[in-house]
Amino acid sequence: MRADRLVAALMLLQTRGRTTAAELARELEVSVATARRDLEAMAAAGIPVYPQPGRGGGWALVGGARTDLSGLSATEAQALFLLVGPAAEVSGPAKAALRKLLRALPRTFRADAEAAAGATVVDPTPWGERDRRRPELVDRLQRAVVRRRRVRLVYTDGARERTERLVDPWGLVDKDDAWYLIAGTERGRRTFRVDRVEEAEENGEPAERPDDFTLAEAWREVVGDVERRRARTWATVLVDPRHLAVLGDRFGRHCHPDGTAADGRARVRLAAPTPLDLARNLAGWGGLVEVLEPAPVRAELGRIGAELAARYAAGPRP
């Protein structure tokens, strides 16, 4: 688990003062490339780790802190907890590491460090969308969550309506590189896609957050609502087992393998909001996928096929 490696790497640097990526890789039993990425991630997040080139070089902590985590500043502690906090949602060892880190921090830093640890949730399961990039505003919104400051958002929703609103940022979710902000508004809790946020600026006012709020639980509720909307129509299909991974990648959590048919093909359950949505997603597979049921999906596929045949049967335009 990466959270354990980051903590171990930091403690190793504090003990030795300097280490190379190769030495760290041997200590942590990972590849040199993995160790280097961990060190670079710590440096990029604001931890005072820097490389020293040349013979006898390596990676070292600014100031040479060697005893415990009290050598970190408040900002540096927040940066570390932003890195390891999301892993603690799914890893018992990461939770234990965070508890040890908290005990090692000065009391004045602990509240902000705990806020940073809970500022982000990672949900690795895709909703069928890929090739996303981390929005530039993620870091700014994370700071607002940790500092508990209200944010003025300029936001364009799915209907392309552009609005300006004042929100209380409660937490961020990284869902397969698609980022979401969960925030309080005058109409209650809302979820915003960060790639649709055009502007985000703190206004200096303290943000309000319910005492019983937990980001992980709020996100589970959001996912449940979305899944109910996205899975209103289910279809049973047959596909060659060779293509099952591609089908799963396309449909994400809405792809459920359901055994094997008599002819050896994989039986799969797929979901989408409507029969037309399912048919559109499956039409490009041609004969590679056979839809057994329901009838409305088969009918939509037949209609799409007839439209394509009518348009292209005559060949290319003169």
Which CATH number belongs to the domain containing residue 107 in this structure?
A: 1.10.10
**Residue 105 or residue 158, greater confidence:** 158
Q: What is the CB neighbour count within 10 angstroms for residue 142?
A: 21
Say whether both 205 and 237 belong to one domain: no
What tens digit of pLDDT does each residue of 33-52 get?
Answer: 888 888 887 777 667 787 87
Say whether both 212 and 283 belong to one domain: no
Boundary (domain end) residue, out of 228, 253, 278? 228
Mean pLDDT of 134-155: 87
Say whether both 188 and 272 belong to one domain: no
pLDDT in the model for residue 23: 87
pLDDT in the model for residue 230: 74
CATH classification at residue 198 = 2.30.30
Boundary (domain end) residue, out of 165, 200, 228? 228
Say whether both 244 and 198 belong to one domain: no
Say whether both 284 and 209 belong to one domain: no
Q: What is the CB neighbour count within 10 angstroms for residue 182?
A: 22
Per mean pLDDT, which range of 44-58, 262-276, 284-298 is the poorest? Answer: 44-58
Structural domain for 289, as ranges: 231-312
CATH classification at residue 280 = 3.30.70
Exposure string for 241-280, b = 16+ CB within 10 A, e = fewer: eeeeeebbebbbebbeeeeeeeeebbbbebbbeebbbbbe
In a domain, 92, yes or no: yes
Give how far Cα 259 sits from Cα of 155, 256, 272, 282, Å: 44, 10, 20, 20
Boundary (domain end) residue, out of 228, 250, 271? 228
- What's the number of domains the chain is made of? 3
